[in-house]
Amino acid sequence: MISLLLDPIFVALLLLLIGLLVWTRSPPRRALLKGKIIAWMGFALLWIGASPWFSSRLSASLEPRPVDLTAALSDTEPSQRALVILAGGKRYDYDFLPSAERLGPTTQARLLGAARIIREHGPFSLVIVSGTGMPFVTAMADYLTLHGVPKDSIVLEPKATDTTTNAVYSAAILQEHPKQRVVLVTSALHIPRSVAEFHKVGIEVVPAPVDYVGGRSFQVIPSANSLSRTARCTHELLGHFEP
């Protein structure tokens, strides 16, 4: 809820609205100055948040570098390895599309990264896909099998509704199937908060960040993609303060 209320575009539009209301409803002299200040604050926030230069550097500062999985898994047998993949949203449900094609771009990026990790560092005897609802996690499993992940290694976790419950319900599965090493796959922006939630439920994980969105850009002309990236960063930062 906090991240929704402090979403950059919502705050910017709210400031613009307040500025216009103050401008039109207050006594003339005071209204002109106050309204202009508040409106310009909203405009500045919107421009900066949508600037590729700002959003790329903000996201890059929050994304951890990849871990050396070869070294992290070197002392474990495949039978003692588990991999957990967290969902990242889905598109609208179109019945005429195959289930795997209904997954949102963030979820697809996480699954694609997970498939690469399994191919390069596997096999893993247990692959948990955690998301909201059986159709969703089934689609995630279908996407993995399309990319060569053995179907019999995949376990579905459909109860999670957020990062906290991702950890809680995945931990329950891992307690039933204890493993020596647990690799956690999610977006690089999402990794710090996800690792913290798994630690809270007593699961030590090897972070495997994928879906990197940061980088270097010197462009200052606003774009919708950059605003979306800034919103993702804000969501992750504020997520640490949500109960």
Residue 182 maps to which CATH number? 3.40.50.620
Quick one: 36 and 70 in the same domain? no
Task: Give the percent of the chain with pLDDT over 70.
Answer: 92
Does residue 18 sit within a domain? yes
Does the pLDDT value for residue 35 go beyond 90? no
Report d(CA 177, CA 18) in Å as an integer: 55
Residue with tokens 């059986």: 134
Quick one: 118 and 95 in the same domain? yes
Q: What is the domain count for the chain?
A: 2
- Which pLDDT value is given to residue 216? 80
> Which residue type is seen at 240?
H
CA distances, 102 to each of 92, 95, 138 (Å): 7, 9, 11
Quick one: 170 and 194 in the same domain? yes
- Which among 125, 101, 98 has a CA at the least distance from the CA of 111? 101
Specify the pTM: 0.85
Quick one: 206 and 163 in the same domain? yes
Does the pLDDT value for residue 16 go beyond 90? no
DSSP structure string for 26-95: S-HHHHHHHHHHHHHHHHHHHHHHT-HHHHHHHHHHHPPPPP-HHHHTTTS-GGGEEEEEE---B----T
Does the pLDDT value for residue 60 go beyond 80? yes
Quick one: 102 and 139 in the same domain? yes
Quick one: 78 and 195 in the same domain? yes
Quick one: 194 and 129 in the same domain? yes
* Average of per-residue pLDDT values in the chain: 88
Quick one: 44 and 22 in the same domain? yes
Does the pLDDT value for residue 242 go beyond 80? no
Quick one: 89 and 201 in the same domain? yes
Quick one: 44 and 113 in the same domain? no
Mean predicted confidence (pLDDT) in 202-211: 96
Quick one: 125 and 37 in the same domain? no
Does residue 215 sit within a domain? no
Alpha carbon of residue 9 to chain centroid: 18
- Which pLDDT value is given to residue 222? 85
Supply the range of the domain harboring residue 173: 66-210
Q: Which residues contact 145 (CB under 8 A, 6 or more apart)?
A: 151, 154
122 pLDDT tier (thresholds 50, 70, 90): confident
Beta strands in 4-56 (DSSP E): none
